[in-house]
Structure 1
Amino acid sequence: MNRRTKIVAVAVALLIGAGATGAATAAPGRGAGAHREAAALTGAAWLDRDPATGERVRFSFDAHLAWADRNDPRAATGTFRYSHAVGKEEFTAFVRVDCLSTGGPVATVTGIVEETDVPGLRKKRVGVSVYDDGKRDRLGYSWLVSSPLTDEVPPCNAAAPHEKVVRGGGDFRVLPWIYDGMAG
């Protein structure tokens, strides 16, 4: 092979290699070391309430949508918990996730209450939304606009994230949803 042919062959090989590398890194869930989740919501926070009332609200999340289920947010797994204390009285709930939808820094998660000390709440669906802004996260919940005791909350639905978490008291992390139908 002459020198010119070798240079062209090497250049073509490099271009093909660069294209394959670019495709592998641009396709989440594929290739060595790529993540295997299509969406996630993790972390915990306290809501910014008036300390004079003795009101303390805490949420924690561990919700995930596997890469294999990326086109079905209702296949999400995990749990979330919340507690709401006023004075010496505290109400808690442990929720099994049944839907997770994320977009950019926003997540909406719903689930069925498995354990609670609130009469009539067990086996009801509740929903929470989170805005992870990296500075002062926000949170919203379905029972702001409907009663989980009497109204059916649809999967992946909650009120907009209207309430600020305590400054320095939130560490939500949202992995934006990746699905096959998403445009570049």
Structure 2
Amino acid sequence: MSRTTTDRVLNRRRVLAVGAALLMTAGAAGVAVASGDEAARPASSSAAPQTADKTPTAEKATKREAAALTGTAKMYRKTTEDVTFTFDAHLAAKHNGDPSKATGTFRFVHLDKPGGKGGWAKGRIDCLMTGGKVATATGIITGTNMKDIKGGRVGFTVHDTGGTDRVGYSWAADGPDGTKKLPKCTSSAPHEKVRKGTGDFHVTPWKVPYPTAN
């Protein structure tokens, strides 16, 4: 074999060897890239599913109160009388078993006509019970322009109908007497209707602490 032929054969072998080495290197790099891709991908569907916590953030932060009665509205009357009730009564979750721990305020105004003469009273809530959309509350009068009733306990009942709400009060038959002899959470049936377009009441149902078996 001539020297020229020998050189050609050797050169060809070198080219093949280099080509093989490049292929091996590329293959190894491909494996490394593939391994990186796999690491970046999310776990397969065969992995144990994670249960999402769907509890609203606000609900996690604050616990629902046990009961509430809020809102303001005027009563329907066929006369010029202007009668308004306002409530902001609440029973905290921690006092769910004791309605007499309710807190808040109430106010009522009874005028002979809008802007006319009449009486008013405000006070602090000392009891609140609700059932469904009906609330019964009582409170002590702390301020009024009728001195004879200051310090007395009065009661209210509200039916939150979602339409024309209804209101009742303990003095419907006899009038407030200025004493505390009225039992807590006592009032009359909600016999009066709210005048349409003058306001609304909202009742939060009480979570009754029913006894459980041992």
Taking the aligned partners of 1:45 and 1:97, their CA distance within structure 2 comes to 18
Cα distance change on mapping 1:43 and 1:142 into 2, 3 Å: same
Taking the aligned partners of 2:119 and 2:63, their CA distance within structure 1 comes to 36
Question: Deviation per CA, 1:12-34, whole angstroms, max 9, x where unpaired?
Answer: x85xx8xxx69x89xxxxx6145
Cα distance change on mapping 1:65 and 1:182 into 2, 3 Å: farther
Q: With the length of structure 1 as denominator, give the TM-score of the two structures.
A: 0.79
Question: Deviation per CA, 1:39-91, whole angstroms, max 9, x where unpaired?
Answer: 000000100012xx320000011000000111000000000000000143120
Taking the aligned partners of 1:142 and 1:61, their CA distance within structure 2 comes to 15
Find the partner of 1:170 among 199, 207, 212: 199
1:158 corresponding residue in structure 2: 187
1:136 paired with 2:168, answer no
Pairwise CA distance, 1:154: 1.0
Counterpart of 1:43, as a letter, is G
Which structure has more RCO (C-alpha within 8 Å, separation ≥ 6)? 1
Q: Contact 2:152/2:178 (CA < 8 Å) preserved in 1?
A: no
Instruction: Say which one has the larger Rg.
Output: 2
Q: With the length of structure 2 as denominator, give the TM-score of the two structures.
A: 0.68
Aligned-pair identity (%): 45
Count of residue correspondences: 164
1:70 paired with 2:66, answer no
Find the partner of 1:86 among 112, 119, 131: 112
Unmatched segments (≥5 aa) in structure 2: 1-44
Taking the aligned partners of 2:131 and 2:211, their CA distance within structure 1 comes to 11
Find the partner of 1:102 among 105, 108, 130: 130
Pairwise CA distance, 1:146: 3.5
1:60 corresponding residue in structure 2: 86
Q: Contact 2:153/2:178 (CA < 8 Å) preserved in 1?
A: no
Counterpart of 1:99, as a letter, is C
Unmatched segments (≥5 aa) in structure 1: 1-5, 26-30
RMSD: 2.6
Find the partner of 1:39 among 67, 72, 84: 67
